[in-house]
Structure 1
Amino acid sequence: MRGIDIASYQGNVDFQRVKNAGIEIVYIKATEGLTYKNPFLESQYSGAMAVDLKIGFYHYLRANDPIREAQFFLSVVDELSADCKYVIDVEELFGQTIAKVSSNVRIFADFLISNNYDPCIYSSDNFYATNLDSSVKDLPLWVANYGASMPIATNFVGFQFSNTGVVDGVNGPVDLNDFSSGIFIDSVNPQPIVNTVVRIFQRTTNLVGLRDVNGNRLVEDGIIGIRTRQVIAKVFVTSNATGELVRWIQHRLIALGFNCGPAGADSILGPLTLGAVKRFQTSRGLASDGIVGHLTTMQLLR
């Protein structure tokens, strides 16, 4: 199916002419970061609706708290009707590590899922391959590669093949896309993967008293949803710490091939475990400070 995506650059669009030109799907930029809203959003949306085009919305992800960005996005599009998946546009590192950018995308997507919105990633072929890790590669992909007959990525629901397209009814150049039926919102909401490692983490954090933002224990369901991510954000384990959370960290390090010394999982974050944490952090592109915070915890959960 032929599609275009538009933003404020396109301004007012004659959607009847767009439809007559053979376009079936239009994606509209809704928001960016924490405060930017497309000033033409309502007029572009109503124009596309009036001629019965299939509609989707996207958010340009920056380097803020991903939950706050997701909340802002949903606050803008919540009252608008969409046919297509809600897209997280990720194209820049903004000085962040691959692990951090990937974590932001994952948190944003999980927030959408937890609120019954069906997510999708938009990115370039190169950025997707080199700057996003495996934690987000189960999400549907809309990929850009200009001038290529097919993208390098092999599993995608949308292919943006030009950013200089000409379509009747649109002023100036516009992005051109081919979409498969996979771009449409599923009749059944996507289900997160149940994971034994996550379930043991949930049990451990319940045991040591870590709670979500409302003070509730986690449901030990093996799913990294919004409440589990709230608890992950509270993890902060440093040198010489003791207890069951340290034991869980040691078990994960050992399972992932990082030796914690002859004592194994002894529940003490001593020098040998500290060294294992630093080696693990380096292997995942994190700062090797030996502190197990939320980014290191997310990597340990994979």
Structure 2
Amino acid sequence: MPVHRSGTAKTLRPRLAAAGTLLSALALLLTLPGAASAADSSVIPERGTARMGQGVIAHDGQKGGAAPIGTAAVQTEGVDVSSHQGNVAWSTLWNSGVKWAYVKATEGTYYKNTYFAQQYNGSYNVGMIRGSYHFATPDTTSGAAQANYFVDNGGGWSRDGKTLPGVLDIEWNPYGAQCYGKTQAGMVAWIRDFVNTYKARTGRDAVIYTATSWWTTCTGNNASFGTTNPLWVARYNTTVGELPAGWGFYTMWQYTSSGPTVGDHNRFNGALDRVQALANG
């Protein structure tokens, strides 16, 4: 006896139609403002993996990526590296013209770069002037706590002519809200807490690494650090563009991200003797 399925088909048609309507609604929802942030929550990186300039392309873009143009003054090539680069071929970089380097030492008060010794000592051993940087997470612990953690785990300074002052890497939050949930005044206070503690521990003013757009958004374009803390500005373009308030010039410029093998490339605003002068304090 044949089996009649007409009732089943009649039942499925409205269900399929409803499912199609639901999928269309979801597709529309993902095009609305704010939908991307919800979708992106599934790709939040693991704590400790943040690196200098990670948010620059995502927020400011990368235009050009070639060597900077229009700089009449002599500038000195440098790189910055983190655990993403693993064991770095320092001799190759040295032979290509790189004369200074910064190495990620710490993040928050919970992470130390597992490749720090190879990167920090290796750059020194080939003749580079080098220093270390701290990736700030102002939503986890105080500025003072993170400055102390940094100094205790590779962020110190010595007047040996080859050690640059430590860097506070303060930029977009890869783990959540771009300003780490802080007000502009709260962010300025956190940065002040860090740099004051770093100077008390080392005798040096920390370099501040940031991007103009982030600084404007998250500190209100505060101008109070320009007279004390050297500026390392991030802008992936052939010109440096507008600087954050308070700084009349940059000390270093991160102008491109070259991928995981060689790190980001930078220019020091001066000849090699100016890099040495910053190292000597």
Given the superposition, is the C-alpha separation of residues 42 and 2 from structure 1 closer, same or farther in structure 2, using an over 3 Å criterion?
same
Asked if 2 retains the 8 angstrom alpha-carbon contact of 1:2 and 1:179, the reply is yes
CA distance in 2, matches of 1:91, 1:41: 21
Q: Which AA in structure 2 matches 1:52?
A: G
Task: Give the equivalent residue in structure 1 for 2:41.
Answer: none
Query: C-alpha distance in 2, partners of 1:79/1:158?
Result: 20
Q: Which residue of 2 aligns with 1:126?
A: 213
Does residue 70 in structure 1 map to residue 147 in structure 2? yes
Q: Secondary structure at the match of 1:134?
A: coil
Match of 1:144 in 2: 234
Specify every segment of 5 or more residues in structure 2 that has no aligned partner in the other structure, as ranges.
Answer: 1-75, 173-178
**Matches of 2:149 and 2:89, distance apart in 1:** 28
Q: Classify the secondary structure of the residue corresponding to 1:4.
A: strand
CA–CA separation in structure 2 for the residues paired with 1:21 and 1:172? 14
Cα pair 1:106 1:135 within 8 Å, conserved: no
Instruction: Give the structure, 1 or 2, with the largest relative contact order (CA under 8 Å, sep 6 or more).
Output: 2
Alignment root-mean-square deviation, CA: 2.1
Q: Give how far 1:107 is off.
A: 1.2
Q: Deviations over 1:25-66 (max 9, x none)?
A: 110000000110010001111211211111011001112211
Identity %: 28
> What residue number does 2:133 align with?
58
- Report which stretch shifted further, 133-142 or 20-29: 133-142
Which whole-Å CA distance do the structure 1 matches of 2:205 and 2:117 have between them?
Answer: 21
CA distance in 1, matches of 2:164, 2:103: 11
Match of 2:99 in 1: 24
Match of 2:249 in 1: 155
- State the partner residue of 1:88: 168
8 Å contact from structure 2 (residues 157, 166) kept in 1: no
Write out per-residue CA displacement over residues 273-295 of structure 1, whole angstroms, 9 at most, x where no aligned residue: xxxxxxxxxxxxxxxxxxxxxxx
Q: C-alpha distance in 2, partners of 1:117/1:129?
A: 25
Within 1, Cα distance between the matches of 2:216 and 2:103?
25
Structure 2 CA distance for partners of 1:187 and 1:6, relative to 1, 3 Å: closer
Residue deviations 1:164-220 (CA, integer Å, cap 9, x gap): 26xxxxx635211001256653645xxxxxxxxxxxxxxxxxxxxxxxxxxxxxxxx
Gaps of 5+ in 1: 166-170, 189-302
Runs of at least 4 residues off by over 4 Å: 78-82, 181-184
Indicate conservation of the 8 Å contact 1:143/1:151, yes or no. no
Choose from 224, 242, 255 the match for 1:135. 224
Distance 1:117 1:45 in 2: 19
Question: Is the alpha carbon distance of 1:43 and 1:173 closer, same or farther for their aligned partners in structure 2, counting shifts above 3 Å?
Answer: closer
Please state how far the C-alpha of 1:78 moved relative to its aligned partner: 5.6
Q: C-alpha separation between the residues in 1 aligned to 2:213 and 2:134?
A: 20
Is residue 117 from structure 1 mapped to residue 204 from structure 2 by the alignment?
Answer: yes
Structure 2 partner of 1:176: 265
Name the CA distance, whole Å, in 1 between partners of 2:224 and 2:193.
10
Partner of 1:48: 123
**1:250-289 superposed matches below 5 A:** none
Which has more radius of gyration?
2
Partner of 2:84: 9
Aligned residue pairs, count: 183
2:212 alignment partner AA: D
Normalised by the length of structure 1, the TM-score is 0.56
Secondary structure at the counterpart of residue 105 of structure 2: strand
Query: Do the aligned partners of 1:2 and 1:178 also contact (CA within 8 Å) in 2?
Result: yes
Q: Distance in 2 between matches of 1:136 and 1:22?
A: 31
The amino acid of 1:185's aligned partner reads L
Write the distance in 1 (CA, Å) between the matches of 2:118 and 2:91: 14
Query: Hey, what's the Cα distance between the residues in 2 that align with 1:58 and 1:3?
Result: 14
2:205 aligned partner, one-letter code: D
Residues in 2 aligned to 1:79 and 1:186: alpha-carbon distance in whole angstroms: 12
